[in-house]
Amino acid sequence: MLTIAISKGRILKDTLPLLAEAGIEPSEDLSVTRKLIIPSICGEVNLVIIRATDVPTFVEYGAADVGITGKDTLVEHNSDNLYEPLDLEIAKCRLMTAVVTGRELPVGKIRVASKYVSLTEQYFAKKGQQVEIIKLYGSMELAPLVGLADCIVDLVDTGNTLKANGMEPLDLIMNISSRLVINKASMKMKHQQIKALTEKLKIAVDNRR
């Protein structure tokens, strides 16, 4: 049995058609079921539906053989114990800094709100900018509006949420898409299964270009 950990939300929605092209379909409607482990119709794969930030951990420690999550999550997790053989080219967005529209960042040390602490530290360190990072898990746009932070670092898709809250994107940190990651031990123990899955997914990705 092959176990695939998939991020909830948009990534899951974009992943299901790719998996279907690879011959893997859930035995239950994921929009209805509250189950966290769902067998595939073929009976050879279990799908584990979890938070994006947990996918690398599940895969790294062998609770899942394979995982699908965003590049932002993988970089933030920063593990050398995962293979990352394939960019699935889904759930694309950008990791950016954003500020209140028309407002310039103050001179000197600034306060930045983000859930991406490591990525934010790395980005501003490269710029030589001193920052105090305030870790938040959601409603990031509130931070500059109420004076908690000078700017935020967050994922931007259409930019509509920023605009609706009187904010605008500033600097691009990195382009993001979802990646296939593999547990190193599973790659040895279940090599044929994982190789076949990777090849089928690559064909599905190529066909979409």
Structure tokens at 84: 């990352």
**pLDDT-wise least confident of 29-33, 57-61, 68-72, 170-174:** 29-33
Confidence of residue 30 (pLDDT cuts 50, 70, 90): confident
In this prediction, residues 176-185 reach a mean pLDDT of 97
DSSP letters for 109-161:
SEEEEES-HHHHHHHHHHHT--EEEEE-SS-TTHHHHTTS-SEEEEEESSSHH
Interval 18-28: pLDDT, tens: 999 999 999 99
Interval 135-155: pLDDT, tens: 999 899 999 999 999 999 999
* CATH (one of 3.40.50.300, 3.40.190.10, 3.30.420.480, 3.30.1960.10) for 93-175: 3.40.190.10
Which is it for strands 82-87 and 178-183: parallel, antiparallel or unpaired?
antiparallel
Structure tokens at 153: 């670092």
pLDDT for residue 74:
96
Interval 90-117: pLDDT, tens: 999 999 999 999 998 998 999 999 999 9
How far apart are the C-alpha atoms of 113 and 99, rounded to whole Å?
A: 11
Q: How many residues does the chain have?
A: 209
pLDDT for residue 128:
93
Interval 50-76: pLDDT, tens: 999 999 999 999 999 999 999 999 999
pLDDT for residue 89:
97
User: Which DSSP state fits 40?
Assistant: B
How far apart are the C-alpha atoms of 143 and 69, rounded to whole Å?
A: 26
Q: Report the alpha-carbon angle 1-207-17, nearest 5.
A: 45
Confidence of residue 171 (pLDDT cuts 50, 70, 90): very high
pLDDT for residue 50:
95
How far apart are the C-alpha atoms of 17 and 31, rounded to whole Å?
A: 14
pTM of the model: 0.91
Q: What is the CATH number of domain 2-91+177-208?
A: 3.40.190.10
Domain positions in the chain: 2-91+177-208, 93-175
Q: pLDDT at residue 31 above 90?
A: no
String of b and e for 149-188 (b: at least 16 CB within 10 Å)?
bbbbbbbbeeeeebeebebebeeebeebbbbbbbbeebbe
Which residues, 6+ apart, have CB-to-CB distance to 188 below 8 Å? Answer: none
Question: Same topology for domains 2-91+177-208 and 93-175, yes or no?
Answer: yes
Q: What does the mean pLDDT of the chain come to?
A: 95
